[in-house]
Amino acid sequence: MSIDEAKNLLFQIHFEGNLRKKGFRGLQMWKRRYFRILGSTLIYFDVNNLKVARRTSEITADGKVMVENIPDHPYAFSIIPNKSERLYNVEAYSTQQRVMIPFLPHSSQDQWIRLISLIIALNRRIYAPNPNSRRSIHDSFRILDTLGKGRYGVVHLGQQISTGEVFAIKVIHRGNIDASVLRQELLVLRAVKNRIHSEHIARIVDIYEDPLLVHIVMEYLGGGDLYHRVAKKGCFSEREAANVIRRIGSALEELHKEHIFHLDVKPENIIYESNDSHSPMKLADFGCSLLMDRFNRDTKCVSEVVGTAGFMAPEVISNCAYSEKADVYSLGVTLFILLMGYPPFSGETQSELLHQTVHDRVKYEEKDWEAVSRDALILVKNMLCKNPNERISMREVLTFPWVTNPPASVGEEDGDEK
């Protein structure tokens, strides 16, 4: 099995069910718990609260799983997820396990043991100690200048050795990011790489992993971001703004078809290919994104607020309620900024911005909006509805008459925007 095949198989693993677990402390009583395995992540919950994980561990190449001979517990086995974790004593007693791995046997104890053994074996294949069996980014790319720094990593300019083509390479140190957060980002990036084919989304070229670092090779976009163009230019014309909404809205719609929510749509994450005024633009940065398909329901990830204050939807802030409607709201904030040159809320602190987003009404100053068409104002209001059930859908945004046929400003002609 190749390393890529091992990664793809590990990516698809999703298994969950009830187990009895022996307590770590005190009387060490056996209690019913709900366990879930996503890829190589082991999570367990109280059976009455599947929203908050009691503990999350990573099953690594040095993990162990074995049958245990414990009196009165005939189906007991132990798990050591990795060498830095404590031992779990658990017992399988429910045959009604939810399984998405078709070749595993039906015995509940066997299912858990064989699946965890498989995960350990896959990780050993991926992170094999033999350097000849592990892909190294340095075999294919030269790492050049630093382009910028993000929350969890540094982005470098990289050059492909075989072709000379330049790319952006994001380097993440595993020690600087929570394992579950990194896992979710890699899930999204692999889904974008393998499933998404859109001219308006920054391309994910390849992902290299080793026990210390993750290298993400991305399409290089050298034209700067939308934020700096707005800062330099001020308000966009309606035709220019509609062009942004068409391009980025279609990108988001493609993501939503694959159950990916971007959750950080903002001018800083809309990047131009070149400095040309008519340069194509692309949606980038999936650091806050969630993949919510049938293989992935990582409760820990969806119980935390992600995004940027001022762009996050009200339901994300108040209830961590994620859906495609959250991206509609963020795109609506972006449209507001393009037309007005300022955001709908302007709190001095992040806390103020979050409070205003949830509780305050958006103010549409008549003196500012009188220069904008009525249809543009209607669209912005529909995109910024606080109730996601009343908010317009992305498909409705893209088919809205103002988006498909925006009015031209004085001096603008058909074809000004590509």
Give the tens place of pLDDT for each residue, 95-106.
444 444 444 444
46 has which bridge partners? 33, 49
What is the reported pLDDT for 293? 63
Q: Amino acid identity, residue 167? A: F
Give the Å distances, CA to CA, from 261 to 54, 79, 120, 161, 335.
26, 34, 30, 34, 19
232 annotated as ligand-binding: no
CA separation, residue 58 to residues 62, 119, 213, 294 (Å): 11, 10, 16, 21
Tokens encoding 236: 């966009």
Tokens (6 digits) for 15: 């298994």
Cβ within 8 Å of residue 308, ≥6 positions away: 264, 266, 288
Q: Which CATH number fits domain 3-126: 1.20.1600.10, 3.90.1170.50, 2.40.110.10, 2.30.29.30?
A: 2.30.29.30
Instruction: Please give the pLDDT value at position 268.
Output: 96
State both tokens at 156. 């470098």
213-219 and 55-58: which strand pairing?
unpaired
Contact (CB, 8 A) for 292 and 259: yes
Confidence (pLDDT) at 126: 83
**pLDDT at res. 303:** 56
Q: Domain spans of the chain?
A: 3-126, 138-219, 226-404
pLDDT of residue 361: 96
CB neighbours of residue 357 within 10 Å: 25
Tokens of 111: 């299912």
pLDDT of residue 418: 42
- Write down the CATH superfamily of domain 138-219: Phosphorylase Kinase; domain 1 (3.30.200.20)
Distance of CA 130 to the CA centre of its chain: 32
Closest to 77 in 3D by CA, of 120, 42, 111: 111
Three-point CA angle 70, 99, 322, nearest 5°: 115
Q: What's the residue count for the chain?
A: 418
Residue-level pLDDT at 300:
44
Q: Give 91's Cβ-side CA count (13 Å radius).
A: 16
What is 226-404's CATH number? Answer: 1.10.510.10
Query: Could you give the CA distance from residue 272 to residue 407 in angstroms, rounded to a whole number?
Result: 24
CA distance 42 to 186: 17
Of the candidates 253, 255, 268, the one whose C-alpha atom is nearest the C-alpha of residue 195 is 255
The list of the chain residues with pLDDT below 50 reads: 94-107, 131-132, 294-300, 415-418
The pLDDT of residue 417 is 47
Residue numbers annotated as active site: 264
Token pair 């060490």: residue? 28
